[in-house]
Structure 1
Amino acid sequence: MKIIIVGIGKVGYTLAKHLSAEGNDVAVIDKSQEAADKGGDSLDIMCLRGSGLSTRALLDAGVRETDLIIATTSSDEINMLCCLTAKRLGAKHTVARIRDPEYAHEVSVLKQELGLDMIINPELEAANEIGRVLRFPTAINVETFAARKVELVAFRVVKGDKIVGKNLAGIMNDIRFPILFCTAVRGEEVIIPDGNFVPAEGDLMYIAGKPSAITDFFKYEGKYQKQVKTAVIVGGGRIAYYLGLGMSRLGMKIKIIEQSKRRCQELDELLPDCIIIHGDGTDEQILEEEHLEAAGAVVTLTGRDEENLLTALYASRLRVPKVIAKINRGNYEGIIKEMGVDSIISPKNVTAAQIIRYVRALRNTIGSNVETLHKIADGRAEALEFVARESTWNLGVPFKDIRFKKNFLVAAIVRNGSIIIPTGNDCIRTKDNVIVISRSSNVNDLNDVFEA
């Protein structure tokens, strides 16, 4: 596909990197010559200096032949106008990053009036992801599929866990819960396990199943924690706003610590059910005064990775049950995990995964088959949801009689509202929602998991 990305900041760069790696013809427009040069040199793609509102820049980038334009500048208004202009010049599809909460309730109107095919709000998506973890604090990460009927949950194996030293076949025979061990991360290795795999201390394991079955498994392991009742958010930006709004509506007691007095006043008006504290969230005295150690969870959401890292480590040292840190730089993720903070949120990666799903749906010649896409295992594997169609191969054939490609696993099937954790005797039927785990990063269709 021919794709133009306008704006090569954090989100734009991440998108350009992933989309070009998947074989798309990517061009970038940025008003900064330095940013354009950096993108061109490191990604080996065409980068042009110019404004996303410039007809000349869009034409030079090939907008008339473009399948998709993605506007990711820091200005919502520029992104919207850029997409409108590109559509009139011939771009087939448009995606705009729109972050301002004032536009959040106008999505349908904006899409209709401006001809936008997709609107993405990175901060809202990040807040939703954090919210899922706060509702299931035992987990390091929670992804949902099939209208939340199926969850994919990551957890760390620790010394004393009942599954340590047993192979998965034996574990499944012992527990008899309808779950499936889908992926294991051991050091730098990502494994799609079979029944002979033996979990070890330190492994990051992903399991799939309906929420009640996953809860039963964690109770069996002695890991179960109830939903967080109180949370302290350090940093009062847009993610904090969306998170505070959503969690307070669920009855969670939220306290937000923000350094800007003006922003505190804004949040106080916007979030009447939250407690807003004016102060430096990295100041140990402030954190002691606000009894950080008594919180059910701490979420660090300042604009600086270093501050988020230090505050998260401090909260972990106080043994706060759940600590989540926003980190934008990938090179910090390994450090923070080694120090005991497993739950990391990256808005740019959340956004990239959403848009990549959309791109793959567009690229799929038989229709929008990719329903959901989540990057897992630090981006080294994917969890995808497909809808089986008449053109899907091997319909009605038992799994034991199908040749699957290496490094793929069917984790769950949702059929008429019922969840099936597949065995060799199960099969795929039309209209099934099929959740697949893949170590490949270029899966566009359910047929990609089968040997021809």
Structure 2
Amino acid sequence: MNIIIAGCGKVGRALAEQLSREKHDITVIDRKPEAIQQITNIADVRGVVGNGASFEIQMDAGIDTADLMIAVTDADEVNLLCCLIAKKAGGCQTIARVRNPVYHHEIHHIKDELGLSMVINPEWAAAMEMARLLRFPSAIDIDTFANGRIELLRFQLEEQNPLCNNKIKDLHMLSRCEVLICIVERGNEVLIPSGEVELKAGDMISVVASPVNASRFFKTIGIETNQVKNTMIIGGGKISFYLAKRLLEMGIQVKIIEKDRDACERLCEILPKAMIINGDGTDRELLAEEGLAKAEGFAALTNMDEENVMLALYAKSMSKAKKITKVNRNTFDTIIGSLNIGSLIYPKHITSETILQYVRAMQNSIGSNVETLYRLVDGNAEALEFMIKGKSEVTDIPLQELQLKPHILVCAINRKGKIIIPKGQDCIQEGDSVVIITKDCGAYKDIRDIMKKTSGPVGTR
């Protein structure tokens, strides 16, 4: 597809790189020549220097032949104007990033009136991800497929966990639940495991299951699954507002510590049921006074990554709370990930993932059947959901007889709302949605791509 991206910040660069790798024709617009120079040096994209909300600049970028405009500049109003002009000039589909909470309640009206295909609010999306984690505090990450019917949960095995020193093929005997371990992270190694892999203490494992079976599985292996009763939030920005609002709706007590008095007064007005503390969230005495030791949830959401990491490390030493840390830059993501400070949330990743899912859904009309995609394990693996729209060489044949490429695992099938954790004798059928895990990131756009290329007939018995 021909895609134009207005704005070459963190999200714009991430989208340009990924979509270029997926063989789309990408043109990037930005006011800063150095930003255009940087992205054109590292990705196969075309760059245009100028204001993305300018009709002339958009025409230079090829809006008249574009399939999609993605507006992710720093200004909400510019993003909306970019999309409006693109819609009028080229008739293409449009996606706008809109971050201001003032627009949040009006976003559906704005979307409909401007004819936008999609509006993404990174702070709101990040807050919803955090709320899911506080609902299920044992998980480090939670991704969903099939409209929430399938969950992919990532957690770490502690020494006392009954799964330790057992092979994956014996999992069903231990848990009596329909779940599948689809990724094992051991040190710097990422495995798409076979049944013979033996689990070890310290492994980070990803499990696929229905929400009901996920809860049963965690309870069976002795891991707490109940949502937290209270949460302490450090920082009073947009994400904190959205998160606090959602947690209060879930019946969770919320305490926000923010050092800017004006921000505290605004939060008191819009979150009357939350406790707002005007103080320095890095003050250890204040944290102790406000009950850090008894907190069940702790979210470090200041505007400084370093401060958030240090707060999470301190909370780790003082509390058993479920910890969530907001990180804006991924410069030191490997080091931060090794600190074992709970769940790391990258708002820009959530934004780019959501937009990528939409782009893949658009491709359905031109041959692709990827519905949902998540990048996992710092981009070293992908989880993809495929819609099976017709019969092919992968349908109606037992999985154990399919000649699949290496590093692929078919881990869940949604058949008319029934979730199947597949075994070797199960088949993929027309009408199913199928979740696969792979280490070959960006390689699969159609379910048939998972098959090895053979010179003879495929799937005969």
What is the TM-score when the length of structure 1 is the normalising length? 0.95
- Greater displacement, 270-279 / 19-28: 19-28
Look up the match of 2:457.
Answer: none
SS at match of 2:332: helix
Look up the match of 1:415.
Answer: 415
Would you say 1:77 and 2:77 are equivalent positions? Answer: yes
- RMSD across aligned positions (CA): 1.9
Deviation for aligned residue 1:322 = 0.9
Would you say 1:444 and 2:445 are equivalent positions? Answer: yes
Percent of aligned pairs sharing the same letter: 42
- Greater displacement, 69-78 / 389-398: 389-398
Alignment-mate amino acid for residue 444 of structure 1: K
Question: How is 1:388-399 mapped onto 2 (pairs within 5 angstroms)?
Answer: 388-399=388-399
Deviation for aligned residue 1:368 = 6.9
Question: How is 1:292-441 mapped onto 2 (pairs within 5 angstroms)?
Answer: 292-366=292-366, 369-441=369-441
Alignment-mate amino acid for residue 47 of structure 1: G
Deviation for aligned residue 1:300 = 0.8
Q: For residues 188-228 of structure 1, give each alpha carbon's deviation from its aligned partner in whole angstroms, at most 9, with x where no partner exists.
A: 22211111111222221000111222222222322224211
Question: How is 1:211-290 mapped onto 2 (pairs within 5 angstroms)?
Answer: 211-290=211-290
Cα distance between partner residues in 1 of 2:391 and 2:350: 30
Q: For residues 316-349 of structure 1, give each alpha carbon's deviation from its aligned partner in whole angstroms, at most 9, with x where no partner exists.
A: 1113331110112223333233322131000000
Look up the match of 1:13.
Answer: 13
Cα distance between partner residues in 2 of 1:366 and 1:391: 17
Cα pair 1:364 1:445 within 8 Å, conserved: no
Cα distance between partner residues in 2 of 1:319 and 1:131: 19
Look up the match of 1:114.
Answer: 114
SS at match of 2:452: coil
Look up the match of 2:144.
Answer: 144
Alignment-mate amino acid for residue 448 of structure 2: N
Cα distance between partner residues in 2 of 1:411 and 1:143: 14
Q: For residues 242-281 of structure 1, give each alpha carbon's deviation from its aligned partner in whole angstroms, at most 9, with x where no partner exists.
A: 1111110010001111122111111111112211111221
Deviation for aligned residue 1:391 = 4.5
Q: For residues 387-445 of structure 1, give each alpha carbon's deviation from its aligned partner in whole angstroms, at most 9, with x where no partner exists.
A: 22125543322222222222221111122222111111211222222222122222222
Cα pair 2:360 2:371 within 8 Å, conserved: no
Cα pair 2:363 2:369 within 8 Å, conserved: no
Q: Structure 1 395/45 Cα, relative in aligned 2: closer, same or farther at 3 Å?
A: closer
> After TM superposition, where is structure 1 displaced by more than 6 Å over at least 4 residues in a row?
none
Look up the match of 1:157.
Answer: 157
SS at match of 2:139: coil
Cα distance between partner residues in 2 of 1:368 and 1:99: 31
Cα distance between partner residues in 2 of 1:446 and 1:127: 32
Q: Which ranges of structure 2 fall in alignment gaps of 5 or more residues?
A: 454-461
Cα pair 1:392 1:446 within 8 Å, conserved: no
Deviation for aligned residue 1:282 = 1.8
Cα distance between partner residues in 2 of 1:120 and 1:150: 23
Alignment-mate amino acid for residue 188 of structure 1: N
Cα pair 1:164 1:199 within 8 Å, conserved: yes
Q: Structure 1 306/216 Cα, relative in aligned 2: closer, same or farther at 3 Å?
A: same
Cα distance between partner residues in 2 of 1:110 and 1:405: 45
Cα distance between partner residues in 2 of 1:305 and 1:323: 15
Question: How is 1:72-111 mapped onto 2 (pairs within 5 angstroms)?
Answer: 72-90=72-90, 92-111=92-111
Look up the match of 2:459.
Answer: none
Deviation for aligned residue 1:367 = 6.2
Deviation for aligned residue 1:36 = 2.6
Question: How is 1:176-215 mapped onto 2 (pairs within 5 angstroms)?
Answer: 176-215=176-215
Alignment-mate amino acid for residue 414 of structure 2: V
Cα pair 1:336 1:342 within 8 Å, conserved: no
Look up the match of 2:456.
Answer: none
Cα pair 2:368 2:445 within 8 Å, conserved: no
Alignment-mate amino acid for residue 167 of structure 2: N
Cα distance between partner residues in 2 of 1:42 and 1:261: 43
SS at match of 2:269: helix
Look up the match of 1:61.
Answer: 61
Cα distance between partner residues in 2 of 1:294 and 1:334: 30
SS at match of 1:330: coil
Cα distance between partner residues in 2 of 1:406 and 1:338: 28
What is the TM-score when the length of structure 2 is the normalising length? 0.93
